[in-house]
């Protein structure tokens, strides 16, 4: 875990600015010029549907995806908004346009990239596709990696800034959301039958890929980055179905989640936090915020009814199965059914979450205690008084 000694006084002030944004919902903040996002399907606002081949079906481009907030599919893998959307809206930014919109036929609908842009692609991995292919793992969604997204970003920069100095200033004044990324580096091999022992060996390389991307962005001028950890994958309907166990001891008695998979997520998150500590020492003037997606979500799984959920581990949209998930039945496809009220479900399609769950995670990150450092650690620098947490 990161310690407050890892940060400069200026770093604490910047973090306080970021964390306090959600406390004033709808408050337009001029602290940042733009917001830039990288990641996978937890942050993709429409890139995969735009870059996929025309003959390849992408479920997020069809209803019921997008039905809750947008009332039409947007390419988001949820019924509505994602964490990145709630952060953007709380800061007064428009919803971040997908970077591929500029390269699409309807380029005029790309939006104002000077205020923000999203490079996240569903299915993307932190490591390069060749890393997984060498280990017999295929990516059925895309060949895009975090490195690919960085290349897109560098190609885009001249369209929003004219000189190296102005580009550095643009990045200094932007908020960077690094994911979530890394989940698919494990999802693909696990769901294709690779062992825990094998996939454990991937973790240092996955974390290193994230670190290299952060380092490159910092060298380009980035000053404020939010770096999310992985969600508790042992609570996913997909994993609970595909990797079901006959041993009751493999499951958490309170949540019904698979213990070993959640322990795997925690291992990734531990290594990621250790790497962030190393980067903080290397770049003491840069603000690196760890976003604890794992515990922000686990509070929901531990007490779903407290947050208004009737179901935590069963999917709202999916095929027949004990968790309303079937690996050969896509949400919205033949054989699938959708719940009447997604807001009472944590899981949307067995892999991704509902807008209601993402909203709670986002609020827990930026209004509550699920960031490193916690807001209570900032009080001596900012005069901020921490209220009761919702642990």
Tell me which of 188, 324, 326, 352 is the catalytic residue.
Answer: 352
Residue 104's pLDDT band, with cuts at 50, 70 and 90, is low
Structure confidence by residue, pLDDT tens digits, 11-26:
433 434 444 433 333 3
pTM for the full model?
Answer: 0.88
- Please tell me the predicted confidence (pLDDT) of residue 380: 26
Annotated active-site residue 277? The verdict is no
| Residue found by looking up tokens 């999310």 in the block | 228
Q: What is the enclosing helix (H) or strand (E) of 326? A: none
Residue 31's pLDDT band, with cuts at 50, 70 and 90, is confident
* Domain at 4-303+365-377, CATH class: alpha beta
Structure confidence by residue, pLDDT tens digits, 267-325:
999 999 999 999 999 999 999 999 999 999 999 999 999 999 999 999 999 999 999 99
Annotated active-site residue 72? The verdict is no
Can you say whether the dihedral through the CA atoms of 101, 103, 108, 111 is positive or negative?
positive
- Please tell me the predicted confidence (pLDDT) of residue 274: 98
Structure confidence by residue, pLDDT tens digits, 174-205:
999 999 999 999 999 999 999 999 999 999 99
Sheet holding 371-372, edge to edge: 116-118, 34-38, 174-178, 224-228, 287-291, 371-372
Annotated active-site residue 380? The verdict is no
- What average pLDDT score do residues 225-242 get? 97
Residue 102's pLDDT band, with cuts at 50, 70 and 90, is confident
Distances (CA, A) of 184 to 123, 139, 334, 360, 371: 6, 9, 25, 23, 22
Tell me which of 20, 37, 41, 90 is the catalytic residue.
Answer: 41
Structure confidence by residue, pLDDT tens digits, 133-147:
999 999 999 999 999
Q: Domain map of the chain by residue range?
A: 4-303+365-377
């Amino acid at each position: 875990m990161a310690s407050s000694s890892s940060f400069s006084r200026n770093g604490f002030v910047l973090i306080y600015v970021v964390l306090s944004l959600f406390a004033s919902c709808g408050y337009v903040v001029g602290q940042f010029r733009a917001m830039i996002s990288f990641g996978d399907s937890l942050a993709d606002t429409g890139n995969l549907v735009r870059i996929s081949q025309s003959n390849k079906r992408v479920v997020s481009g069809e209803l019921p995806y997008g039905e809750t907030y947008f009332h039409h599919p947007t390419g988001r893998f949820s019924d509505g908004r994602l964490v990145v959307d709630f952060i953007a809206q709380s800061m007064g930014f428009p919803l971040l346009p997908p970077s591929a919109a500029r390269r699409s036929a309807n380029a005029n609908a790309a939006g104002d990239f000077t205020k923000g842009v999203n490079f996240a692609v569903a299915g993307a991995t932190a490591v390069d596709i060749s890393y997984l292919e060498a280990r017999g793992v295929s990516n059925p969604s895309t060949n895009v990696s975090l490195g690919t997204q960085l290349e897109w970003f560098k190609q885009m920069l001249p369209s929003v800034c004219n000189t190296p100095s102005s580009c550095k200033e643009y990045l200094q004044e932007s908020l960077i959301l690094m994911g979530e990324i890394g989940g698919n580096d494990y999802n693909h091999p696990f769901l294709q039958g690779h062992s825990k022992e094998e996939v454990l060996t991937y973790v240092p390389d996955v974390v290193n890929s994230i670190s290299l991307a952060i380092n490159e962005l910092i060298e380009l001028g980035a000053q404020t980055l939010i770096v999310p950890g992985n969600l508790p994958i042992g609570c996913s309907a997909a994993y609970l179905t595909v990797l079901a166990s006959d041993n009751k001891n493999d499951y958490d008695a309170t949540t019904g989640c698979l213990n070993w998979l959640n322990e795997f997520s925690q291992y990734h998150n531990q290594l990621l936090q250790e790497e962030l500590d190393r980067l903080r020492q290397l770049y003491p003037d840069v603000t690196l915020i760890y976003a604890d997606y794992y515990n922000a979500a686990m509070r929901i799984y531990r007490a779903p009814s407290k947050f208004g959920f009737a179901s935590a581990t069963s999917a709202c949209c999916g095929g027949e199965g004990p968790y309303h998930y079937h690996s050969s039945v896509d949400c919205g496809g033949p054989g699938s059914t959708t719940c009447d009220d997604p807001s009472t479900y944590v899981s949307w399609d067995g892999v991704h979450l509902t807008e209601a769950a993402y909203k709670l995670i986002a609020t827990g990150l930026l209004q509550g205690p699920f960031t490193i450092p916690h807001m209570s650690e900032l009080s001596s620098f900012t005069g901020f008084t921490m209220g009761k947490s919702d642990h």
